[in-house]
Chains A and B, each alone.
Chain A
């Protein structure tokens, strides 16, 4: 039941089954969905998918880290990281609970 890995190919197969486009077009559209989300994250920093969750880019400042092998202190440069916050609907579904009302603005 568990411990399988779902990939782009599985998503393409689901789109093929659900929408009835060709397999190759289904695969191209799955890639396009993910590419558009990536592009929006790079340009505006937030993508909010109702009933799934919100992806947001956070700016991290510089801090001192340590090379765990040598113990040597090394600066970790300022960088942008992506965080995902699941929606209430997704959290409920993962825990077998009734999802809350699916308000459009909710994410």
Chain B
């Protein structure tokens, strides 16, 4: 499923909403998640999962094509931990 499939499914289930409002709702949800992570906040969506930021230290990498050494600066990467309910739904019948 892509972002546009998600918008279409929600629009179909909510015929009273304008498509542009559904687009805005989906955009707002993912934009708020992004802004929270930019601030360094944690995001906890019960039943779905939690996003947090983890740091990666600076390191010396190598250009795989030329073999040349390059400095890779510190960076922040998002981390997602699946929520209990979704994890269980992914594994129904395998207990």
Contact = CB atoms under 8 A, between A and B. Distances in A.
Give the size category of A's interface with B: 35 or more
B37 A94 contact: yes
A34 B45 contact: yes
Given A38-B86, A82-B86, A95-B76, A32 B13 contact: yes
Interface in A29-80: 29-30, 32-34, 36-38, 40-42, 44, 46-53, 55, 57, 77-80
A50 B2 contact: yes
Contacts of B31: 14
Given A42-B86, A49-B3, 15 more contacts: A1-B39, A3-B40, A5-B41, A6-B43, A7-B46, A18-B24, A19-B25, A21-B17, A21-B21, A34-B29, A38-B89, A42-B90, A52-B3, A81-B87, A94-B38
Interface in B11-40: 13-14, 17, 21, 24-26, 28-34, 36-40
Interface of B: 1-3, 5-6, 9-10, 13-14, 17, 21, 24-26, 28-34, 36-49, 51, 53, 75-80, 82, 86-87, 89-91, 94
Contact of B1 (A19, A46, A52): A46
9 contacts: A2-B39, A6-B33, A6-B42, A7-B44, A32-B13, A79-B90, A91-B77, A93-B34, A95-B76
